[in-house]
Amino acid sequence: MLLENKTALITGGSRGIGRALCDVFAREGADVAFCYASNEEAAQETVQLIEGHGRRAVAVQADVGDRDASLRMVEAVTGELGRIDIAVLNAGINRGSLFLRMPDRDWDDIMRVNVGGLYNVGKPVFQQMMRQRGGVFLSISSISAIRTAPAGVPYAVSKAAAIGFIKSIAREGGRLGIRANAIAVGVVETDLAHTIPEHFLQLYQDWCAMGRLGAADETAELAAFLVSDRNSYMTGEVVVQDGGVVV
């Protein structure tokens, strides 16, 4: 198994890519902690997936945009599992507004969660990994950070920030045994995809060599390899997984 005897923290684990990450990581041998915003029923479904693989599951309700809540979450996970070997910064939100008509609150909300969460969760986890002299970060970014994809201005900006965060963490953590990489995903068939107008989704599939949206488990399978010890000499990199989009 790729992740045997590892412990993982995944933000936004109650649905979509986050749930797929929890499922695949547990299948590959990791004990998995995850946070969720509010849907306790969905969180318990994820717990059942993890435990179904015979692994320990820890679910923590926390808003990654809240610094104090994020710190409490990291402390709770470390106390329960003993250490954090892998941290996947996956939690994110989007709004469907065009930039010209976007309410200020849409920008503020996306930056608070998508960018603020990088710091709020990333810093205490980085400190923990420094103490244990090792660990792996993975950020779930987006092709909208590097291409002209129809995902919205604040979302694209926030996902570009995720790439900058990963590259900087890779630089600071490399001599301490900490690796950090990102996946720039295309449009994946999740609730978040439905914040994109339907005609843009059709355009995306026209641009995509494979002619379809991605699946959450496809991203999770790639993620499991990227955070594993078999990928020990890659850090500071962005892997694009978009089905062959040319725009």
How far apart are the C-alpha atoms of 143 and 66, rounded to whole Å? 26
Element (H, E) at 91: none
Name beta bridge partners: 188.
214
Sheet holding 7-10, edge to edge: 57-61, 31-36, 7-10, 86-89, 135-142, 178-185, 238-241
Element (H, E) at 61: strand 57-61
Catalytic residue among 36, 119, 155, 233: 155
Residue type, position 51, single letter: E
How far apart are the C-alpha atoms of 168 and 205, rounded to whole Å? 33
Name beta bridge partners: 72.
none
State how far Cα 160 lies from the chain centre. 13
Spatial contact of 244 and 186, defined as CB atoms under 8 Å apart: no
Copy the structure tokens of residue 73: 């979450």
User: Active site includes 204?
Assistant: no
How far apart are the C-alpha atoms of 179 and 125, rounded to whole Å? 13
Spatial contact of 33 and 72, defined as CB atoms under 8 Å apart: no
Name beta bridge partners: 208.
245
What phi, psi does 103 have (nearest 5°)?
A: -65, 150
The catalytic residues are 155
